[in-house]
Amino acid sequence: MPTDTHGCVRYPIPWSDVTRSRAEDPPKAALAGLAGTASQRRDLLVWVAIALAGLGLTAIAVRTGAHLGTASAPFLGRYGLSLGLATILAPIVAGVVLFGALRVGHNGATWFERAPFGRVLTLSYGASFLWCATLALVDGAAGFTRSLRSASNYLTDVPAVGDDPGAYLRTFVADAAGHSVAARGHPPGPVLLLWWFERLGLTDRLALGVALTAVGAVLVPVVLAAVRGVCGDLAARRYAPVLILAPYAVWVAVSAEVVVAVLGAVAVLAAVRASDAHRSGLRAAGWALGSGLLLGLAALFSYAAPWLGLSAVCLYFARRRAFLNVATGLGALVPVLAARAAGFSWFGGLLAARTDYATRVEPHRSVLWWSALSLVALVVACGPALIASARKIRRTPGWPFLVGAGAAVVVSLAAGLARGGVEAAWLPFFPWLTVAAIAPHRQGPGSEPTPLLLVAVGALTAVIIEAVLATPW
């Protein structure tokens, strides 16, 4: 079986698909691609049914006066129609990406399938940034700055750092009650990152919002590189449009959680490189150590980030490289212990966050209602591709990715911690939950074509959410 320079198996496009595409009229082939296969239409119907049932449940919760703590369930924020000239920008970006995923090339391959992979990564980053940015611009400049200007967000904590970040770390747990709402539920990483940005001269709120969006867009090429290393070259190429036009992009431009998502994704990618069959000895251990260091760093931004380490653990065992867990585990301890030496106790911060949650959130938000509504938010945020992924999870070698992300969601629900705001809190896990959407219909190597119908409906979902929801993130 031929492999590329990274040792990934290269699965050729089936010849029947190529000859069929050559024989068809390109416009007809394009329309057929957007119409989707029978399985895609079934997945879409299931998703629509679940989403509508969930929104109906939400309406019942609101009308019966359930304790929800938000006026925009199943999300946090407020509803209000926002339409303008900028509203057409996001659909234009979506149209360009969908066109690149159509089989209109002279050899029957899509642009994503035939372009050099490095170019696919580069343009996927650019397309992701434009998709997130144009969604945010529906609200004008406020789309980038609203969350940063909020009194409940991290930026209000930056003055407390002053000229002594060490003192801020040492008093972070003790002064937890005086932090912003966002900072109380997180380690000090987000505040210190924004403080560092200010020290670099990035004080303009619009520029800072754009910079965070640019960081968030890195998530797409990193996840694609990880998928390529585990599922193969063709699968990663066909997964690109699913990632680029994901509905959860609505929150990428306005949430500091994207930093956690990127750090976690790079950590998973390092674990993929460490466990590659062509890499052994010190080189493998070095990548595994780097994976752990990144996971530990992510843990200083979010208490939920370590769940992505479960993906690395499963990957190592699946590839029979279990000894790499030692290097990754040791690496993960380094940032946490370094922070402890500087005065911040990660476990102390976690307990303080849990105490704050128990007094500030739990009494005002029903656990029963929010356990259901959080799943509704998950289904809507991930889009129809989530259904295709859930249906084919056993057929993809990328199952370790789904285990880490899925475990984080399940534990959050079981512990009663999912009571609003999962669209931001679960952002680091969303990209991994749809990996199996391009898995083959039968167990074995290969990939299904990009589910364009599901991608298109997911993009439309993002446009609708952005038009009617003002998020607080």
Q: What is the pLDDT of residues 261-314, one digit of tens each?
A: 999 999 999 999 999 998 989 999 999 999 999 999 999 999 999 999 999 999
Task: Please report, as a single letter, which amino acid is at residue 26.
Answer: P
Query: 64-68 long-range contacts, Cβ below 8 Å, gap at least 24?
Result: 66/366, 66/369, 67/364, 67/365, 67/366, 67/369, 68/365, 68/366, 68/369, 68/370, 68/373, 68/420
The answer to whether 193 touches 148, Cβ cutoff 8 Å, is no
> Does 257 have pLDDT greater than 70?
yes
pLDDT in tens, 184-203: 999 999 999 999 999 999 88
Kindly state whether residue 8 falls inside one of the protein's structural domains. Answer: no
127 belongs to a structural domain: yes
Instruction: Please give the residue that has the higher pLDDT: either 374 or 147.
Output: 374
CA dist 192 and 210 (Å) reads: 18
Predicted pLDDT at 223: 98
Residue 101 lies in a domain: yes
Residue 175 belongs to a domain: yes
- Evaluate whether residue 4 is within a structural domain: no
The 10s digit of each residue's pLDDT in 83-105 is 777 789 999 999 999 999 987 65
| Domain total in the chain | 1
Residue 2, domain member (yes or no): no
Instruction: List, for residues 218-235, the tens digit of each pLDDT value.
Output: 999 999 999 999 999 999
User: Chain-wide mean pLDDT for the chain?
Assistant: 89
The parent domain of residue 304 ranges over 15-84+94-470
Residue 463 near residue 87 (C-beta atoms within 8 A): yes
Domain membership flag for residue 9: no
Q: What is the pLDDT of residues 347-382, one digit of tens each?
A: 999 999 999 999 988 888 889 999 999 999 999 999
On whether residue 98 sits in a domain, the answer given is yes
What's the rounded Cα separation, in Å, for the pair 118 and 306? 29
pLDDT category at 79 given cuts 50, 70, 90 is: confident
Contact 392, 338 (CB under 8 A): no
* Overall pTM > 0.75: yes
Is the Cα dihedral 460, 463, 469, 473 positive or negative?
Answer: positive
Q: Other CB atoms closer than 10 Å to residue 72's CB: what's the count?
A: 19
Top pLDDT among 415 and 214 is at 214
